[in-house]
Structure 1
Amino acid sequence: MRIKDETLGMWLGVLGVAFFGVTLPMTRLATGTQDAPQLSPWFLTLGRAALAGGLSAIFLLATRSPLPQRHQWKPLGMAMLGNAIGFPLLLAFALRIVSASHAAVITALLPLVTAACAAWVLHQRARLGFWLCALAGSALVIAFSVLRAGDQHFGFAWGDLLLVGAVFAASLGYIYGAQVTPALGAERTICWVCVMALPITLPGAFLMWPQEPVAGTSWLGFVYVGVFSMWVGFFAWYRGLALGGALRVSQTQLLQPFFSILAAVPLLGEPLDLVTLGFAAAVVATVVAGKKLSQTRSTASPQRLAHTKETT
């Protein structure tokens, strides 16, 4: 029975990572480009969180989930700022400038940045080798951005800075969310994050409702990021971690940038660029090496770290 659980957990992990990977092309589909804008990044951010918040409220009521304790509100609030507001907003603005494939290479650094944030927030002490891997991954991302700076389809300064900001926002959100996950449960943590955001996201979405006609495909992208990226994906991911083991299943997140790049081909018509794939593979290689060195001398509990999600 355990073998079946581990297999199911692995497949659920892959499914969750696939949901998160498709977030990048779906976000670009929803926002459009600078030359052909569709939904505004503000509406997309507030609207997707409001949609996920409504689904979360239904889930919490149906499962009769108790309110979080007083000391849990602060980390939940920080997770809300990072994961429900900061990351999707910065990502949406960036994807009006850069392609989804380009963004996939930058955001592939997310696991390393999350580990670095854990070292800061949770007072971990990683080996020197981890920090060298983090520097190597960052150097690869900078080199990729510089290489693409002359390509009219890619932004260098502003677009890449927005992506870096999105990565840091998501990382901090994951770390703070992980602090309350052992007590609340993984699914309830993301649900409370989305429900906490409702007083901001629901009226904000109505205020930012698009006044101009929007393509049907953009609305499709909006529904996807609200339902799957912000909600269903976390259920599949966390359930996969629980069934298959966090250490084993978490390795599936290394597939995320490749899901993004491949999904951008049919959804956005982006070319399958070997240079982009090569840089993505190189960044993932630094992540693999860095992750092996990021769990040393930790003062945080293994349970707390096991639930730290290192994606979108």
Structure 2
Amino acid sequence: MITDNISKDQMVSGWINGFIGVLLFSGSMPATKLAVTEMSPLFVTIARAGIAGILALSVLLIYKEKRPAKHQIFSLVLVSIGCVIGFPLLSSLALQYTTSAHSIVFLGILPLMTALFGVLRGGERPHPIFWFFSVAGSLLVIGYAVSQGISASPVGDILMLAAVILCGLGYAEGAKLSKTLGGWQVISWALVLALPLMLPLFFIYFPVDIANVTFQGWFGLAYISLFSMFIGFIFWYKGLAQGGIATIGQLQLLQPFFGLALAAYFLHEQVSLGMVGVTIGIILCVAGTKKFAKSLIKK
């Protein structure tokens, strides 16, 4: 067992990059809701991965990046399954059964999933008190959802839970790989791996009533293709690699509340004012995880 010493500068950079990533991801569920309201969830998933994949391939070619090593391919496949296909598809399907405000609440479990996979796949060993704050933050988010009394669909909840599990795996795997391959390179190669599948499916599932899609629908698709699927990951993976998967991953506890604010503003979905008090509690939990995650131990 050896101690993985993360410098103060690395930690600060990690928190900054991670926070920017969370801000960009916060618009994902409301934007996806806009898109799936007018287009099928399957097409939205294919289109966002295809558009981001073409952008990623272009950037890789411009910078003449070397191909990943053979031993890195498996990790990239896991990132692709979790973040490029799994989470986008399952969350899009879930939004057919529930509101974006309700689905956003499930993102409160995502930091815990990311930390768990960080232990399983990344070999991280946070301080025991770290887990207290991590679980407390997740319970605050879940408790807030219950107190809101939001009507839920069992199908939608199961789909969101599966989406969050796959996303946590993709986050942790991508962060581990970012340390050797680079943050933007990881998501770029993961998108490129999915491109041969996405391009044919794009034309197969292209909607016949595409002319009826409004500006809001196109805006939602554009946002999740550019920011949720590509640009956000550049900051997110870099932050996870710099500050640690389990540590920086706790910033995701703030994502549901940014997302709920956006859902309330743009989609006019009802959000309780109690969100303010819970947000303060979440910030305290994030601060706690930050303090007690300084000494990470790697296998």
Q: Same fold (TM over 0.5)?
A: yes
Cα 1:75–1:12 change in 2 (3 A) is: closer
Q: 1:112-153 CA deviation, whole Å, 9 max, x = no partner?
A: 22111112223444444344444444544554454455x4xx
Aligned pairs (5 A) from 1:137-176 = 137-148=137-148, 151=150, 154-176=151-173
Stretch of structure 1 that moved more, 263-272 or 70-79: 263-272
| Equivalent of residue 192 in structure 1, options 171, 189, 193 | 189
Q: Which moved more, 1:155-164 or 1:196-205?
A: 155-164
Call closer, same or farther: CA 1:113–1:12 in 2, change over 3 Å.
closer
AA at the equivalent of 1:206: F
Match of 2:31 in 1: 26
Contact kept in structure 1, 2:182 and 2:238, CA below 8 Å: no
- Taking the aligned partners of 2:108 and 2:130, their CA distance within structure 1 comes to 16
- Percent identical pairs in the alignment equals 36
SS for the counterpart of 1:274 is coil
List aligned pairs for 1:35-114, cutoff 5 A.
38-114=38-114
Within 1, Cα distance between the matches of 2:44 and 2:84?
Answer: 11
Q: Distance in 2 between matches of 1:108 and 1:116?
A: 14
Give the distance between the partners of 1:165 and 1:291, measured in 2 at CA.
Answer: 27
Contact 1:26-1:222 within 8 A present in 2 as well = yes
Number of the residue aligned with 2:3: none
Q: Give the aligned partner of residue 229 of structure 2.
A: 230
- 1:215 aligns with 214
Deviation, structure 1 residue 107? 0.3
Map 1:283-302; keep pairs closer than 5 Å. 283=282, 285-290=284-289, 292-293=291-292, 296=295, 298-299=297-298
Query: What is the TM-score of this pair, normalised by structure 1?
Result: 0.78
Q: Cα deviation per residue 1:230-277 (whole Å; 9 max; x = unaligned)?
A: 1122334566789xx647x94765543232122213321123422345
Corresponding residue for residue 268 of structure 2: 269
In structure 2, C-alpha distance between the alignment counterparts of 1:146 and 1:105, rounded to whole Å:
10
Q: Could you tell me which residue of structure 1 aligns to residue 203 of structure 2?
A: 206
- Partner SS for 1:46: helix
Alpha-carbon distance in 1 for matches of 2:24, 2:100: 14
8 Å contact kept, 2:82–2:167: yes
> 2:253 and 2:136 mapped to 1: Cα distance?
17
The count of aligned residue pairs is: 285
CA–CA distance in structure 2, aligned partners of residues 10 and 142 of structure 1: 24
Distance 1:109 1:281 in 2: 17
Q: Give the unaligned 5+ runs of structure 1.
A: 1-5, 33-37, 301-312
Which of 119-128 and 215-224 deviates more?
119-128
The Cα of 1:180 is off from its aligned counterpart by 2.0
Superposed CA RMSD = 3.2
Residues 85-108 of structure 1, C-alpha deviations (whole Å, 9 max, x = no match): 111111112222332222332202
Query: Counterparts of 1:167 and 1:102 in 2: how far apart (Å)?
Result: 14
Query: Residue 180 in 1 paired to residue 177 in 2?
Result: yes
Deviates more, 1:256-265 or 1:169-178: 256-265
1:233-272 aligned at under 5 Å gives the runs 233-237=232-236, 246=243, 250=248, 255-272=254-271
Residue 21 of structure 2 is aligned to residue 16 of structure 1 = yes
User: Does structure 1 conserve the Cα–Cα contact (< 8 Å) formed by 2:133 and 2:286?
Assistant: yes
Contact 2:111/2:251 (8 A) holds in 1: no
Distance 2:117 2:293 in 1: 11
TM-score normalized with structure 2 length? 0.81
How much does 1:77 deviate?
0.4
8 Å CA contact retained: 2:107, 2:164: yes
